[in-house]
Amino acid sequence: MNRPTLNRPTLNRLTLALALSCYASSALAEPLTVEFWHIFGDAKRKGFIDQKAAEFNAKNPDIKVVPVVKGNYSENLQAAILASRQGQPPALVQVFDVGTQLAADSGVFQPVGNVEKTDYGDYLKPVLDYYTLQGKINSLPFNSSSPVLYANRDLIKKAGLNDGALPATYGALLRSCAKIKAALPDAKCITFGASSWFVEQWMAEQGTTLVNNGNGRAARATESNLDSPAAKNIFSFIKKLNDGGFYSFTGKLDDGAGSAAIFTAQKSVFLISSTADLGNQLDAAKQGSYRLGVGLLPIQDGSARNGVVIGGASLWIAKGIPDNVADAARTFALFMTNTANMKEWHKLTGYYPVRKSSVSELRKEGWLDSAAPQTVAFRQLLNTKASPATAGALFGGLLPARQIIQEGLQKVLQGQDVDSVTRDTKAQVDKVISDYNKSLGK
């Protein structure tokens, strides 16, 4: 008979393991579980988060952070809110900038500043401003970025232009485009996704808020400024680019990936895209063996450079969880965004390091040499003037408003005139705002 048996050494080892695990579970109380719901499913960024959670768990044996990927931003917020309503909130949630007002109105989160006194002075002010509601720091900045101008320096040279300074205003860009068009029949001047994000940035650069009542921060917004002279400047610029035959895009709304493909195929001299794209762009330039330049986001001629809105996402702490769990969640969030980790995060992805201490350490390491492409992105961030315009718009209907603004851009690209498009766009966005306010019963 051939009966399977355990040999003695295996049996001994099993007994030992069993004994040890009994000992471990009795000696240590169950660790506090902190679920962290985020949206980074890609290997690079998910890897960073998983690694930081593992480091944190090793250092804090009484806490167990469990990162979970929950689809895109919209789905992540929705899942977190439904889970909260069913009494199972995740302790820590990554919420995108445009969802800030929605998340605040949902009532399932608590301001991060509530949990315990922490010094937030080390965070960069323009970044922190976005997530400060009614004077309270509501969430911790995590992945922050703004748009910059990427340039193919080899093509610029080929077009016979000065490849030293990149155009920093609409006018300078249009003049460069005219020369590029004459010199380079195979490439367009500029590409970027027809995205509302750029319109929001260009409003802020001109010091104009997107919506009234201090961008919805002094009181709830009731109407948009999409027919303001600042907005008309933006739409006119797009029209001039398009009419001149300088602009290239895939035609799909908000298709940043399509524009990046056009730029890396060297079919366009310039690209406007997020600083978070920097890593990919540097890789692509190396592969395509062309020199990459990075410049400030071009703005309206004659306007002061007021700065950019720091977009991205922040970390929110749920309401209705035990205080020690909330504390643990906050401790982890602060750990993941500490000086060293923010430096690493920046080098890995191109997202801004949102702490002053990280920036000064990077500077000491020579990472911010004047020649380095990321210097420009930093200057754009550090020189941003604090104001309601650069703090970013806050209103519940920002998501549908973005769709409407993008459709407005496309109407201009299809040849409609700027005045009627901005008038329509404003009317539609205003309706979204008033519908949202009505849905709150206010």
Partner 1 sequence: MDTPVFKGRLFPWLLLLPSLMVLAVFLYYPAVQTLRLSATASNLITGNARFVGWENFTDLLRDPSYVQSAALTLLFCALVVSLGLLVSLSLALLASSVRRGARWYRLALIYPYALSPAIAATLWLFLFNPEVGMVNTVLGDLLGIRPRWLDTPGLAFGLVVMAAVWKNVGYNVAFYIAAIQNLPKDVLEAARIDGAWGSRMFWRILFPLLSPMTFFLVFANLTYALFESFALVDILTKGGPVMGSGGATRFLMFRLYTDGIENYKTGFGAAQAVLMFLGVALITLAQFRFAGRRVQYGA
Question: Which positions lie near partner 1, rule CB under 8 A?
Answer: 74, 77-78, 81-82, 85, 102-103, 105-107, 188, 191, 248-255, 258, 261-262, 265, 267-268, 396-397, 399-400, 403, 407, 410-411, 413-414, 436, 438-441
For residue 168, count other CB atoms closer than 10 A to its CB.
16
Residue 349 token pair:
């992805």
- Tally of helices (H runs) and strands (E runs) in the chain: 20, 13
Q: CB under 8 Å to 132, separation ≥6 — which residues? A: 138, 391
Residue 37 token pair:
């719901």
Instruction: Compute the distance between CA of residue 210 and CA of residue 203 in angstroms, rounded to an integer.
Output: 7
DSSP 299: B
Taking alpha carbons only, the member of 229, 208, 192, 148 closest to residue 413 is 192
Question: Which CA distances in Å does 255 have to 105, 197, 259, 311, 406?
Answer: 30, 12, 7, 18, 11
Instruction: Compute the distance between CA of residue 333 and CA of residue 396 in angstroms, rounded to an integer.
Output: 25
DSSP 275: G
Taking alpha carbons only, the member of 417, 51, 54 closest to residue 235 is 417
Note whether 314 and 99 are within 8 A (CB). Answer: no
Q: What angle do CA 36, 37, 43 make, to 5 degrees?
A: 100
Instruction: Compute the distance between CA of residue 76 and CA of residue 274 in angstroms, rounded to an integer.
Output: 22
Taking alpha carbons only, the member of 73, 90, 72 closest to residue 81 is 90
Which amino acid type is present at position 401?
A
Question: Which CA distances in Å does 372 have to 175, 187, 363, 377?
Answer: 26, 26, 11, 10
- Neighbouring-strand partners of residue 69: 38
Note whether 183 and 158 are within 8 A (CB). Answer: yes
Instruction: Compute the distance between CA of residue 356 and CA of residue 230 in angstroms, rounded to an integer.
Output: 31
Q: Is 133 helix (H, G, I), strand (E, B) or coil?
A: strand
Residue 334 token pair:
């602060």
Instruction: Compute the distance between CA of residue 8 and CA of residue 346 in angstroms, rounded to an integer.
Output: 53
